[in-house]
Amino acid sequence: MKNTSLFRLAALCAISIVALSTLSTAAEKKESVKVWGNCGMCKKTIEGALKGVDGVTSASWDKKSKMLDVKYDDSKLTMKKIEEKVAASGYDTQNVKAADAAYDGLKKCCKYDRKKS
Ligand SMILES: [Cu+2]
C-alpha cells in the first residue's frame, strides 16, 4: 500500500519535471503579419516558403484578410527572417518587399497589386 502511493508520488514528480522542462525550452511565439497575395496558389507558395524552415512550427495565410499567422521559436529565428523568406518567394510583406525578379516570376493570377514604392 505504502509503496504504491510513494511510486505514484515519484511518477507525478517525474511527469511535472518533464512538463516544466519542455515548457521552458520551447519558446514558441505567435505572430501575424500582412502578406500581399491573391489566391489559393499564393497561399500554397507563401506557406510553402516557410515549410521546413528550422524554428517555424506553423504558417497559415488567409487570402481574405491577407494575414499570415506564424508560430515560431524565437530562439531560432526572428520575424524579420520569416518575412524575408516569404519575400524571397515573390510576396511583399508588411516590412519586407519582394525582389522585382521574384515578383515577375509569379504566375499571372498571382500578380497581386503592389503598393507603389
Ligand atoms: Cu495566386
Q: How far is ligand 1, taken at its centre, from the CA of residue 43, in Å?
A: 7
Residue type present at position 92? D
Separation of CA 31 and ligand 1 centre (Å)? 23
Distance of CA 14 to the CA centre of its chain: 32
The pLDDT value recorded for residue 27 is 79
**Distance from C-alpha of 82 to C-alpha of 94, rounded to nearest angstrom:** 12
User: By C-alpha distance, which of 29, 28, 97, 36 is closest to 61?
Assistant: 36
The CA distance from 4 to 8, in Å, is: 6
Name the architecture of domain 27-110.
2-Layer Sandwich (3.30)
Task: Output the CA 38–ligand 1 centroid distance in Å.
Answer: 5
Q: Which residues of 53-85 are buried (b: 16+ CB within 10 A; e: fewer)?
A: bebbeebebeeeebebebebeeeebebeebbbb
- Gap from CA of 56 to ligand 1 centroid (Å): 22
Residue 6: pLDDT band with limits 50, 70, 90: confident
pTM of the model: 0.77
pLDDT at 109 over 90: yes
Q: 23 alpha carbon to ligand 1 midpoint, in Å?
A: 38
Please state the rounded mean pLDDT for residues 57-81.
Answer: 97
The span from the CA of 52 to the CA of 27, in Å, is 18
* Mean of all residue pLDDT scores within the chain: 90
The tens digit of pLDDT for each residue in 11-63 reads 776 767 667 666 655 679 999 999 999 999 999 999 999 999 999 999 999 99
